[in-house]
Amino acid sequence: MKQTNTEFKHIANDIDNERRSFLGKIARTLVLLLLGSFIGMLAINKRISSSKHGSCINNSICSRCKLKSTCIQPQAQSFRAVNNKKDINR
């Protein structure tokens, strides 16, 4: 009987250790996902806000830029002016 009781405790400890290991892995995974999401949001927000505040996100190649209609960069303003003149002359 003593041997069975010892075996039961051993099995119970193994199950507890497996449960702790499993929950630890889940917790680490969640923390990494949250951290990655947070860093991604910061990177996206920085890219968007930098384009609003005057940093070019497209190496001053306005013709391929998605923000060319609202960009405040001098290059973009010149690009829009030239394109508006072309449209008027047509």
Q: What does 7-58 look like in DSSP terms, one character per residue?
A: HHHHHHHHHHHHHHHHHHHHHHHHHHHHHHHHHHHHHHHHHHHHHHTT--SS
> Which residues of the chain fall short of a pLDDT of 70?
1-4, 46-54, 86-90
Look at residue 1 in the predicted model and tell me its pLDDT. 45
pTM: 0.44
